[in-house]
Amino acid sequence: MGLTLTEKILSQHLVSGKMIKGSEIGIKIDQTLTQDATGTMAYLEFEAMGVPRVKTEKSVAYIDHNTLQSGFENADDHRFIGSICKKHGVYFSRPGNGICHQVHLERFGKPGKTLIGSDSHTPTGGGIGMIAIGAGGMDVAVAMGGGTYYITCPKVVKINLTGKLSPWVSAKDVILEVLKRLSVKGGVGKVMEYTGEGVKTLSVPERATITNMGAELGATTSIFPSDEVTREFLKAQKREEDFVPLSADSDAVYDEVVEINLSELVPLAACPHSPDNVKSVDEIGKMKIDQVLIGSCTNSSLLDMLKVAHILKGKTVHPDVSLAIAPGSKQVLTMLAQNGALSDMIAAGARILESACGPCIGMGQSPNSGGISLRTFNRNFEGRSGTKDAKIYLVSPETAAISALNGYLTNPCDMGDMPEFILPDEFLINDNMVEAPIDADKMDSVEILRGPNIKPFPVSKPMENEITAGVSLKVGDNITTDHIMPAGAKILPLRSNIPKISEHCFEVVDETFPKRALEMGKSIIVGGVNYGQGSSREHAALAPLYLGVKMVLTKSFARIHMANLINAGIIPATFKNEADYDRISAGDMLEIKGVCDRVKNADTLVIKNVTKGFEFEAQINLSERQRDMLIAGGLLNYTKNNG
């Protein structure tokens, strides 16, 4: 029986467990990446582990998220990360060099390798045939130290592409179509593997758009084969030597098959407030818009930017619209400057932003009250833009650019014929903004620069055998990490200060939560399905830990958040009978006895609702390693105990 590409790469990297779907496997990690908003914590954790130099083939730290420096905090964190990298063997991509995923794809990713990154959009690397997975900072720290990374052995979904995209229909429309069909939880426990004749028609940046936004499916990752198109891309990046041809066996067996005929796709948009709330642009109609933002790790490649510049050339942005553009990397921005496309954007009235995440994470450009904003980004969760009542639509760069000129949502196909946009034979290579680490024998000479904003992370205690705690918060389905631990220009600078950032925990949902949880001492959060979808930020676990949350009890969890809860020593439990969710109210007192014994040996916990006087069961479907970790009080304690 043949193997899928996913199975081939995973089994080559397997260090523990068996390739049995649904069971836990440990894999060796070749490369890691971090970004600055999750990086400070990850490097503090790496330091705490006491490993002198990273043990991966390549580890890179990017500064791309916290780039709006409206106080000393972000600049201090950047200096801290820079000094840690120099000392411990990590390459440091300085602010201005670009968005982690775009730069990693251009300069460092290699087909067939494994990559984990402390950012949920790490699967962008799947565009060149990597197994690239988003993870919590602590898992990345462990991998940097040479430790194994654990995942549930995934099911593999074949996404069979046929046909060819019509003019002005975009890779973004492909992933929006997948999201429309499968939903934000459709990918949980699965890898999306793209195959079929249609693959050849997509360039590497287009493939990367698709694997990037595969994160919104909740998937473990997404992957394309490494073929002649990949070779051409790597050659143009002057690293053809990194190319290896990779594909699934012709008789590979998949767990599910999704058929997509590229020729039948039309321009789509994800409507507020979820990436899977997808409708066609025509269906939504000529909606008046206030803002258009083009960029983010999903759509900021040279190819995307050239299309946008072509559409804007010689025109003026509509008077009622603010258009801002953030090219994804220094390479993209420099090439746009050299070939004149940047002038076309500026002349049309676009506001050019630095090569960074920027407005995607609420770092500026919040829309006006009730504003309608079209964005080429990947997330449109409520409040993420910084304006709570704004309405965010996720679209392709083509749809965004033409709509910015017209002042209303426009189907780009109305533009008629499309010229051929061809990627250059050679990209402009200049890695002068990537600083190499100092030689190992000189590492003692490097001083670690710590700003006053950097506070130690909360210490979790070993698990107690009895938990009596009130329900401090009850929430519904699809709660995102942006609900649990919001980001944005005001809160992100607090990422290195857990006590302070915890004051904003669940702010979008209930601003009284942090104070109440602290007053309760110990508490439990109750949630619905797909709890914790979205970001990899471990702050969504560390803040609840600091506030005394002992257990999160839901109908189901998103993958990275569940791992982060376990790493923090918080029990992730699910209702055995979902109907019990309705029988619990905020404020109820819950009692669980024999917790350690059951976490060690059983698949369920028996929970007594003392307030309402009934008992029910919750499931704890965990591996042995996860059970031991919870009992030790999280990954750091566990590593110390075992190491």
The residue ranges that bind ligand MIC (CB under 6 A) are 37-38, 65, 119-121, 134, 361, 487, 534-537
User: Helix crossing, 36-49 with 539-546: angle to 10°?
Assistant: 70
β-partners of residue 91 are 60
Q: Which helix (H) or strand (E) holds 161?
A: strand 155-162
Residues 330-359 contacting ligand SF4, CB under 6 A: 357
Residue in this structure with the two tokens 């639509």, named with its chain if needed: 393
Phi, psi of 450 (to 5 degrees): -110, 125
> What tokens were used for 515?
């104070």
What stretches of 25-170 show up as alpha helix (H) in DSSP? 36-49, 72-88, 100-103, 137-144
Instruction: State the SS3 of 387-425.
Output: CCCCEEEECCHHHHHHHHHHCECCCHHHHCCCCCCCCCC
Q: Given the complex with ligand SF4, which of 108 and 377 has the nearer CB atom?
A: 377
In angstroms, the CA 99 to CA 104 distance is: 8
38 binds, among ligand SF4, ligand MIC, none (CB under 5 to 8 A by kind): ligand MIC
Residues 187-246 contacting ligand SF4, CB under 6 A: none
Residue in this structure with the two tokens 């990590």, named with its chain if needed: 90
Taking the complex as a whole, how short is the minimal distance between the CB of residue 539 and ligand MIC, in angstroms?
A: 7
Q: Given the complex with ligand MIC, which of 66 and 203 has the nearer CB atom?
A: 66
Binding status of residue 297 toward ligand SF4 by CB under 6 A: yes
Nearest to 352 by CA among 305, 283, 400, 421: 305
Task: State the chain's maximal CA–CA distance in angstroms.
Answer: 72
296 binds, among ligand MIC, ligand SF4, none (CB under 5 to 8 A by kind): ligand SF4
Nearest to 312 by CA among 373, 402, 395: 402
One residue of 41, 85, 223, 361 binding ligand SF4 per CB under 6 A: 361
Q: Given the complex with ligand SF4, which of 73 and 344 has the nearer CB atom?
A: 73
In angstroms, the CA 324 to CA 354 distance is: 10
Per-residue string for binding with ligand SF4, 113-152, x by CB under 6 A? ------x-x-------------------------------
Taking the complex as a whole, how short is the minimal distance between the CB of residue 508 and ligand SF4, in angstroms?
A: 17
Does residue 427 contact residue 237 with C-beta atoms inside 8 Å? yes
Taking the complex as a whole, how short is the minimal distance between the CB of residue 263 and ligand SF4, in angstroms?
A: 29
Q: Given the complex with ligand SF4, which of 37 and 525 has the nearer CB atom?
A: 37
One residue of 118, 195, 296, 460 binding ligand SF4 per CB under 6 A: 296
Per-residue string for binding with ligand SF4, 365-384, x by CB under 6 A? ------------xx------
Q: Given the complex with ligand MIC, which of 357 and 631 has the nearer CB atom?
A: 357
**Identity at 535, one-letter amino acid code:** S
173 binds, among ligand SF4, ligand MIC, none (CB under 5 to 8 A by kind): none
Per-residue string for binding with ligand SF4, 81-120, x by CB under 6 A? ------------------x-------------------x-
Q: Rounded to 10 degrees, what is the CA torsion of 352, 356, 357, 359?
A: -30
629 binds, among ligand MIC, ligand SF4, none (CB under 5 to 8 A by kind): none
Taking the complex as a whole, how short is the minimal distance between the CB of residue 320 and ligand SF4, in angstroms?
A: 26
In angstroms, the CA 344 to CA 323 distance is: 13
Q: Can you give the binding site for ligand SF4, defined by CB under 6 A? A: 65, 99, 119, 121, 296-297, 357, 360-361, 377-378
